[in-house]
Structure 1
Amino acid sequence: MRLALTGILIIPSAFANSKTSQDYWVSGWASLPSETIITGPVSGHFIEPSLGVTTPFMGQPIPGWSGLLHIRDAIFWGMPDNGFGSKYNSQDFVLGMYRFNANVVEQINNTSKQGAIQIEKFLPFNDKRGILKNGKGVDFPITADFTQYKFESGRLSEFSVAQEIREQRWLTGFDFDVESVVLSDDGSFWVGEEFGPFLLHFDSSGALLEEPVPHPSLFSPFNPEVLAGLKEATLPASRGFEALAKSDIKSQLLVVPEAVSHDVQLRVSKNDERLLEIFIYDTSKKQYLDKTYLYRKDGEKTRNTIVIGDMVALGNGKYMLIERDSLFGENAKLKRIYQIDLKETDSEGVLDKSLLVDLLDIPDPHYIAPSSSSGIFSLPFDSIEGLAVLDKYTIAVSVDTNFPNQNARGGVAPDDTEIVFIRFNNALL
């Protein structure tokens, strides 16, 4: 295994509890180098070299985290999305969860020691139970069913599907585009994805537990029924379930698409693309409930380009959401975290929201993050998609780097995977 690791810096607890004129500030930062490759099937057969990166890769790269779960202390689960950005260029990218330990090193007297992010294990998502070929519910061929990878035209490529993928029925970025994740009390994972869009339920070993759950009216262009000509797409590509959060009711999940349907008949408001429904899925009843919540994004009413990046529960009906544009580097304009309370709405029944963090303007008075400028830290990435609560004063935010095609930090190399810890003066919980 070739695994390059880097460090994490965090301010000591005395600093973290000190008074500051800021409402929030950087309390820690970590980075995983873009060149990190773990042992696994050769990947990247269907992407072009970019930013000095040659392909294919002799293993599996880690292109950032689209889902982030805090386990305890400095231990996390990180989940990449479908890999390289599209269905057909990601069929050799194995989906799953990375468990990692951020070995925290305190910054003392303006000097720092090098720490390390240690990836403890990779948990590949798989269909070893044969759920996707059992003749029930949602069935379709997955990469593991093929002997050779395919081009988008359907023509077979010259590259054989990796033996591990076929034998273990590992799921790949051709099969699903996983974007959001919740850890259940029993250790299983509920995952929101975009090709259905579906809700997927995996056990603690990564095996698909039950049939993928389709939405009653939202269908991606890559939904198996759409591809078979049985349904019409009602969502643009890559606008599925980007956010998934626990409800205060244990059996329920809150499910949030990135954007509204392009079928105006399915919209809450035909003329306002900002207005999203937050859906409720009951895992015990195995159905979506009729009740939804209404949320209004930033941006324009029509041709709205703002999307939801993630959502996480704070408790007692309160949640945080990421809103972001799809720009990066100097062009990035809007990367924000808002707080909502499901009990508080405006006169139109739309959830009130309050700005928690401007991710392009984060005070870093202790200069923890190496790219801070004049005491200000920024996350000018296209896809900011991971959000976790560490304690009642601290959150973590992670980025999906879209490796190897973007360099929001500038320079000639792809972006590293960054996680920033943000501490608040006032308790969030």
Structure 2
Amino acid sequence: MRLSHTRLIGALLIGTSLAAAPALAKDYPAELAGHAVLPAATFVPPPSDAPESLAVSGRFAEPAKGRNETVGSIKGTSFLSDKTAPRETGLSLPFKGQPVQGFSGIKTLANGNFIVLTDNGFGSKANSSDAMLMFHELKADWTAGKVDRVGTKFLHDPDRKLPFVIVNEHTPRRYLTGADLDIESIQPIGDSLWFGDEFGPYLVRTDLDGKVTGFFETRVDGKVVRSPDHYGMTTPAVPGAVTFEVRRSRGFEGMAAAVDGKLLYPLLEGPLWDAAAKTWEMKDGREYLRILEFDVARGAYTGRSWKYRLELNDNNIGDFNMIDAATGLIIERDNGEGDPATACNGPARPDCQNVPARFKRIYKIDLTQADAEGFVKKVGYIDLMRIADPKKLARTATRDGVFTFPFVTIEDVAIVDADHIIVANDNNLPYSSGRQIGRQDDNELILLRVPELLRAQ
């Protein structure tokens, strides 16, 4: 998920009271084992056969104001800024080239590198029609603290597998943009890549070059579910004439794959609409999310699903990857950014964080220990706001030997080995400033040693 100006402060308060719930998951330690950074201002040119219009990105960053062709003329400010005290990020739109940013989904490759994707673009359908959809192979140099981009592939649909009109409809290659899909999760299986999308929500399959080879609607309890951005939805002529089951930008944020590659587990970021109760799905006052099961060989949902209970209503999911056949890791986070020590004490100002980060966790869940109602067991968690750094590996300042990962959108987690996981942020270029006030966040990758969490039962 990339934050948009329509999803701001209302869901940011952390003081939500907890209703009666299962036993609390155990808090496990995390130790920093590596920290590598890809600078925010990292760009790639579009492919040589792409339309000329894609040589510049971000021209529609302010849809209400229309097109802006002047490179660097729109100042970036944090999505979470108070309108009366905008916090600038130091980067300005439009950009020459395509930004390598917005990592939302990661997987460890056999060679030790990582595959990541660049998601929607600049936050919505309306402002991302010149943002290309792409994925990258990255190599982390933990010793030097640097990230190398080994290669980049761009999603395209020359065989017209997508059943709707796209921005580059009448071009030979038909490159996809953030106005076509909002890809948020990635899983390589055999000779294919599978992407979870938020707009539909949909599942999209491509070959290893990024060419679309399959498109799949989402079914829950045997019925197709849609968001307001589904291709079949239209603007109503009268109020209340259209209904949908998935909230905007709450489609498939995370999507795990079974270790044998036979099944996918796409996870909705938000609860479904309960038409009977006239509210979003919840249990005992707590919202819950659906984990679905998809058969890769059949290209169809199995009908089986689980429920993931949020710790706090309005929290979001960042990513989901399996550890083994039974257990997986899920990022659950609030919508704040910045160390609480930099919080504004009083009215919002541009030199302090008006909505600081407080809840940034990675939970281990067990699908086989789900209860009778299908709620997965939360075995334990690590706190990304409290990472030990005894070896002083952090590339940024720590406080009393504690390293924090205070980004609003933390959207990448995957297993590296029996003791380590990798975590990365979506830096919302140029709209996030969580690490340092007044400076656009970089793409940060951290290697965490978490053996106790990975072995917990």
> What is the RMSD of the two structures over their aligned residues, measured on CA atoms?
2.2
CA contact (8 A) 1:200 1:213 kept: no
Please list, as runs of the form range in 1=range in 2, the aligned pairs for 1:92-131 lying within 5 A after superposition.
Answer: 92-105=130-143, 114=144, 116-131=146-161
Alignment partner, residue 320 of structure 1: 329
Alignment partner, residue 444 of structure 2: 418
Q: Cα deviation per residue 1:17-68 (whole Å; 9 max; x = unaligned)?
A: xxxxx84300001111111111122101112321232222110112231011
SS of residue in 2 equivalent to 1:66: strand
Alignment partner, residue 222 of structure 1: 229
Please list, as runs of the form range in 1=range in 2, the aligned pairs for 1:124-163 lying within 5 A after superposition.
Answer: 124-132=154-162, 139-145=163-169
Q: Cα deviation per residue 1:66-117 (whole Å; 9 max; x = unaligned)?
A: 0111113541111121011011211111101111222342xxxxxxxx4542
1:127/1:240 CA distance change after superposition, 3 Å: same
Paired AA for residue 294 in structure 2: Y
Please list, as runs of the form range in 1=range in 2, the aligned pairs for 1:204-215 lying within 5 A after superposition.
Answer: 204-215=208-219
Alignment partner, residue 279 of structure 1: 292
Number of positions where the alignment pairs a residue of Structure 1 with one of Structure 2: 370
Residues 1:237 and 2:248 aligned together: yes
SS of residue in 1 equivalent to 2:75: coil
CA contact (8 A) 1:191 1:200 kept: yes
Q: Cα deviation per residue 1:237-288 (whole Å; 9 max; x = unaligned)?
A: 1000011011256422111101112344496647645222211111222222
Paired AA for residue 141 in structure 1: V
Please list, as runs of the form range in 1=range in 2, the aligned pairs for 1:25-44 lying within 5 A after superposition.
Answer: 25-40=31-46, 41-44=55-58
Alignment partner, residue 106 of structure 2: 68
CA shift at 1:234, angstroms?
Answer: 1.6
- Specify which of 169, 191, 196 is matched with residue 192 of structure 1: 196
CA shift at 1:295, angstroms?
Answer: 1.7
Stretch moving more, 287-296 or 328-337: 287-296
CA shift at 1:232, angstroms?
Answer: 2.9
Residues 1:291 and 2:304 aligned together: yes
Alignment partner, residue 433 of structure 2: 407
CA contact (8 A) 1:264 1:270 kept: no
CA contact (8 A) 1:226 1:232 kept: no
Give the Cα–Cα distance (whole angstroms) in 1 for the partners of residues 188 and 303 of structure 2. 24
TM-score w.r.t. the length of structure 2 is 0.76
SS of residue in 2 equivalent to 1:279: strand
SS of residue in 1 equivalent to 2:148: strand
Unmatched runs of 5 consecutive residues or more in structure 2: 1-27, 47-54, 62-73, 77-88, 341-355
CA contact (8 A) 2:36 2:145 kept: no
CA shift at 1:289, angstroms?
Answer: 2.0
- Specify which of 340, 364, 369 is matched with residue 339 of structure 1: 364
Give the Cα–Cα distance (whole angstroms) in 1 for the partners of residues 263 and 123 of structure 2. 30
Q: Greater relative contact order: 1 or 2 (C-alpha under 8 angstroms, separation 6 or more)?
A: 2
1:427/1:262 CA distance change after superposition, 3 Å: closer
Give the Cα–Cα distance (whole angstroms) in 2 for the partners of residues 119 and 394 of structure 1. 22
- Specify which of 259, 262, 274 is matched with residue 270 of structure 2: 259
Alignment partner, residue 110 of structure 1: none
Paired AA for residue 449 in structure 2: R
Paired AA for residue 187 in structure 1: D
Please list, as runs of the form range in 1=range in 2, the aligned pairs for 1:339-358 lying within 5 A after superposition.
Answer: 339-346=364-371, 348-358=373-383
Give the Cα–Cα distance (whole angstroms) in 2 for the partners of residues 115 and 363 of structure 1. 18
1:212/1:42 CA distance change after superposition, 3 Å: farther
Give the Cα–Cα distance (whole angstroms) in 2 for the partners of residues 348 and 130 of structure 1. 40
Give the Cα–Cα distance (whole angstroms) in 2 for the partners of residues 236 and 245 of structure 1. 21
CA shift at 1:422, angstroms?
Answer: 0.4
Give the Cα–Cα distance (whole angstroms) in 1 for the partners of residues 185 and 419 of structure 2. 23
Q: Cα deviation per residue 1:327-363 (whole Å; 9 max; x = unaligned)?
A: 1113111110111111213465422213331011111
Alignment partner, residue 155 of structure 1: none
Give the Cα–Cα distance (whole angstroms) in 2 for the partners of residues 273 and 226 of structure 1. 29
Residues 1:85 and 2:123 aligned together: yes
1:71/1:248 CA distance change after superposition, 3 Å: closer
- Specify which of 418, 428, 446 is matched with residue 392 of structure 1: 418
SS of residue in 2 equivalent to 1:274: strand
